[in-house]
Chain A
Amino acid sequence: LAKTTQPISMDSYEGQEVNITCSHNNIATNDYITWYQQFPSQGPRFIIQGYKTKVTNEVASLFIPADRKSSTLSLPRVSLSDTAVYYCLVGAFQGSSAGNNRKLIWGLGTSLAVNP
């Protein structure tokens, strides 16, 4: 099962761009890379998912190099409300029956503190 490594904590200031890098050296061919955000006393919330190159949505961008052994979550112009824990996961290919029995492994995540 793929395992991820990411920084335990990061600090930033309002208005800055934040990049959180995740290492996943043992990523499998069928694995997607997914990022979740978790606020205190809440369940994790999906942010973005990608397979290769670059994915962008209304809240973040995800950069994945060609070897897929790492990925970088980019949060543009963070605000105080972006203070949360961010988890990087690798797991089964979306909709693949081969992946239906693989469980996702969540690490400790990256605790991001955005300061005024």
Chain B
Amino acid sequence: GAGVSQSPRYKVAKRGQDVALRCDPISGHVSLFWYQQALGQGPEFLTYFQNEAQLDKSGLPSDRFFAERPEGSVSTLKIQRTQQEDSAVYLCASSPRGHGDTQYFGPGTRLTVL
């Protein structure tokens, strides 16, 4: 595709449910990033992949958050036993090479936990 796509665009979950958010990066992009953005705040780094390798997961807020990119393209962010504080927009970005490259963002998935 022409850009980064994310699905679903909106997700409503009951507290305690598991959710899975998908990111399709730009074809051929080596790096993939996940961010969490709360209302009125800037994006906060969650995790970073270079191809299929998860090189940095220091931003994941708890062990309920898990991300994977098994074939070095599509990535999934999974949140287990969702809590209300997990409500946010989850942004995915990809870049041709590493951190210093321009990041191309998807539209985000807005997660609301009731």
Binding site for B on A (CB under 8 A): 32, 34, 41-46, 49, 87, 91-97, 99-109
Contacts and interface: CB of A to CB of B under 8 A. Distances in A.
A103 B102 contact: no
Contact of B102 (A49, A87, A102): A49
Given A100-B55, A106-B44, A108-B41, A45 B50 contact: no
A46 B45 contact: no
Interface stretch (B70-78, B80-88, B90-98): B90-98
B99 A104 contact: yes
Interface residues of B, number: 28
A42 to B, nearest CB: 6
Contact of A46 (B4, B43, B56, B103): B103
B16 interface: no
A43 B100 contact: no
Contact of A109 (B4, B42, B55, B103): B42
B65 interface: no
Given A46-B103, A106-B42, A101 B55 contact: yes
A16 to B, nearest CB: 25
Contact of B98 (A43, A49, A96): A96
Name A's interface SS.
loop
Contacts of B105: 42-45
B32 to A, nearest CB: 13
B43 A103 contact: no
B102 A97 contact: no
Contacts of A97: 98
Contacts of A44: 43, 91, 93, 103, 105
A49 B40 CA distance: 24
A16 B91 CA distance: 32
B59 interface: yes
Given A42-B107, A43-B108, A45-B105, A103 B59 contact: yes
Given A41-B107, A46-B102, A95 B97 contact: yes
B67 to A, nearest CB: 14
A2 to B, nearest CB: 12
